[in-house]
Amino acid sequence: MRYAFLLDMDKCIGCRGCAMACKNYYNLEPEMVWRQVYPLADSIYPHSGRAFLSLSCNHCDNPVCVTACPTASYSKRPDGIVTHNMETCIGCQNCVRSCPYGAPRYNRVLGKAQKCGMCWERLDAGLLPACVLGCVTGALQIINLENFAETGTVQYPAGYPVMKKISPSTRFILPKMPQLTGVKQ
């Protein structure tokens, strides 16, 4: 098993349901988010404001947070999930500065870093992550990279940092431009 997120950008409507479900489930402080939704720039997707990147932790193959943390608070599970241990975190923010995807965020109230753990406690119990459940269009899914057919998906969509050594596990289906049907063009 190698857990990863799959985002079908053709289905995503940018409702922030995934991010809000995450925030609700973990009772995050008002300013704190573990998942955020970013509209694509017009230069990337010309149908203005109609395509989005919903991003949290990418649970990378070679996570920099694991190597950057001085207290070994991060670990990569055999099933691919990168977890963070709040008990041993000293709030130095090395992970916040190192992650090119901005996944770990500093919680000012607790004085510690936090990030998405792909709801590992839910996955272990046979449940889906909160964000996946919160997605109304089915755009956000969990896949197993070990038997996932990558055809038609990309690892680095435009607007998403290319980090080959780190190799993020998230996969994307690119958005298509809408077509007018029944209209002669």
Residues binding other proteins (CB under 8 A): 16, 19-20, 23, 30-33, 36-37, 47-50
Q: Which amino acid is at 1?
A: M
Residue 45: CA count within 13 A, CB half-sphere = 21
Q: Which residue has the tokens 């000012």?
A: 108
- Min dist CB 57 to other proteins, Å, is 17
> SS3 of 53, please?
strand
Minimum CB separation of residue 61 from other proteins in Å reads 29
Q: Name the pairing type of β-strands 105-107 and 112-114.
A: antiparallel
Q: Measured from the CB atom, is 37 or 163 closer to other proteins?
A: 37
Tell me the DSSP string of 69-93. -TT--EEE-TTS-EEE-TTT-----
Nearer to other proteins, 151 or 179 (CB): 179
For other proteins, give the closer residue by CB, 19 or 96: 19
**CB-wise, 49 or 138, nearer to other proteins?**
49
Tell me the torsion sign for CA atoms 124, 125, 131, 136: positive
* Smallest separation, CB 31 to other proteins (Å): 6
CB of 40 to other proteins, least distance (A): 14
Identity of residue 4 = A
At residue 94, what is the residue type?
A: N
Shortest gap between Cβ of 36 and other proteins (angstroms)? 7
Q: Which is nearer to other proteins, 39 or 76 (CB)?
A: 39
Beta strands in 57-162, from DSSP E residues, in sequence order:
74-76, 82-84, 105-107, 112-114, 140-144
